[in-house]
Amino acid sequence: MHGIRNLHTTRGWVGFFVVAALLLVAVPVLNALPETSPLHVPDWLIPLAGKFCCYALVALAMDLIWGYTGILSLGHGVYFALGGYAMGMYLMRSMAGEGVYRSELPDFMVFLNWKELPWFWHGFEYFPFALLMALAVPGLLAFVFGWFAFRSRIKGVYFSIITQAMTFALMLLFFRNETGFGGNNGLTDFKRLLGFTLSEPSVRVALYWLTALVLLGVYLLARAIVRSRAGRVLTAIRDAESRVMFCGYEPLYYKLAIWTLSAVLCGLAGALYVPQVGIINPSELAPAQSIEMAVWVAVGGRGTLVGAVIGAASVNGLKSVFTAVAPEFWLYALGGLFVLVTLFLPEGLTGLFRRLRRTRAAEARA
């Protein structure tokens, strides 16, 4: 039995290093090939791959709270958007005086007749401060929200509805021009990050490489958490929270810690997303976006980590195809995919792969 466990662990690490090599080495190398080469990865695919890595990072955060702890959030788009807005505010401040109006204020503030910079924009001209806010603001909001929700023993569908209401309320707030976040247009037209021009192909490759590296690092962190003693407690909370309390553990602190960590990871994903996509607006706060995040995990397979990454990549790849060919049918396809997975693949794609592997092993033994 010990040998079988070691074999599975070895296979897992081999698979991890293969994926790491593909993400960190293969994509940039193929992009550097001549355009006439059939293996050349075009420049426009680099930010798209980086965006998928950001989504996979969000899916890992969702899997930690839903797949391993049993907390279904339908409002994690809030934390993703807050991280994105923090980075967008830095990018807007970094090009002060270079806009259409040549003002120290962002162009949208000049257009809306703002006379001075709002107090909450101060400090965002410094990258370390903006990065800190991209992590701290989602984490603080999640901590406060989780403290009251978990202390009140709100669970199940009621908790999911509250998270959905939160993201809807913040979406309406950010849509208003007087809040100082660009209204429905949001923040866009970014030019530089730390002095590097964002439109340069080499900068896009570097951002992709950084995002892929962060994704791999977060995967290792999540793997260490779920395999630790705390991870076993989280799984026990998911399966039988009352028994965990009878064993002398306080579920509140475990749930609050993993909930806050997942929000911080989503904020980090949002901060990496904005420079590569070039825009952040209130549509990222739409309830449908948060629901889609849960669909990624469901399609890939809850409680597997690898499944979360696979689900995010496969669903968003399918979305890219549909929005290019038949955008009006994407929501129908997404709904049908979710129903299909719920009825026929309750363990997601990773469960299907495991089932096929067991079938092949049984046939080989026979």
Q: What are phi and psi of 323, to 5 degrees?
A: -70, -20
Rounded average pLDDT over 255-273? 95
What is the pTM assigned to this prediction?
Answer: 0.90
pLDDT at 10 over 80: no
* Cα dihedral 95, 57, 135, 218 sign: negative
pLDDT score recorded for residue 18: 67
**63-79: pLDDT as tens digits:** 999 999 999 999 899 99
pLDDT at 100 over 90: no
Q: Which residues does residue 196 pair with via DSSP β-bridges, in sequence order?
A: 193
Share of the chain above pLDDT 90, in %: 34
Per the CB < 8 A criterion, the answer to whether 49 and 27 are in contact is: yes
pLDDT at 172 over 50: yes
Encode burial over 213-233: b for 16+ CB neighbours within 10 A, e otherwise: ebbbebbeebbebbeeeebeb
Beta carbons within 8 Å of 185's beta carbon, 6+ residues apart = 108, 281
Q: What's 194-251 look like in SS3? A: CCEECCCHHHHHHHHHHHHHHHHHHHHHHHHHHCCHHHHHHHHHHHHHHHHHHCCCCH
Query: Residue 222, CB half-sphere, CA atoms under 13 Å: how many?
Result: 31
Both tokens of 233, joined, read 């407690």
pLDDT score recorded for residue 6: 45
pLDDT score recorded for residue 61: 94
Instruction: Say if residue 37 is exposed, middle or buried (CB neighbours under 10 Å; 0-12, 13-18, 19+).
Output: exposed
Place of tokens 């001075």: 116
Both tokens of 322, joined, read 């549909």
pLDDT score recorded for residue 245: 84
Number of other residues whose CB lies within 10 A of the CB of residue 21: 10
> 229-246 vs 251-277: helix axis angle to the nearest 10?
140
**174-209: pLDDT as tens digits:** 998 888 888 888 888 888 888 888 888 888 988 998
| pLDDT band at residue 14 under the 50/70/90 scheme | low
pLDDT at 9 over 60: no
Closest to 289 (Cα-Cα) out of 262, 251, 259, 319: 319
pLDDT at 302 over 90: no
pLDDT at 54 over 90: yes
Closest to 135 (Cα-Cα) out of 276, 327, 264: 264
Q: What is the DSSP string of 306-365?
A: HHHHHHHHHHHHHHHHHHHH-GGGHHHHHHHHHHHHHHH-TTHHHHHHHHHHHHHHHHHH
Beta carbons within 8 Å of 245's beta carbon, 6+ residues apart = 251
pLDDT at 94 over 90: no
Using CA atoms, how far apart are residues 233 and 250, in angstroms rounded to an integer? Answer: 10
Higher-pLDDT residue of 146 and 5 is 146
**318-339: pLDDT as tens digits:** 888 888 888 788 888 888 888 8
| pLDDT band at residue 99 under the 50/70/90 scheme | low
pLDDT at 15 over 60: no
pLDDT score recorded for residue 102: 66
Share of the chain above pLDDT 70, in %: 93
pLDDT score recorded for residue 30: 74
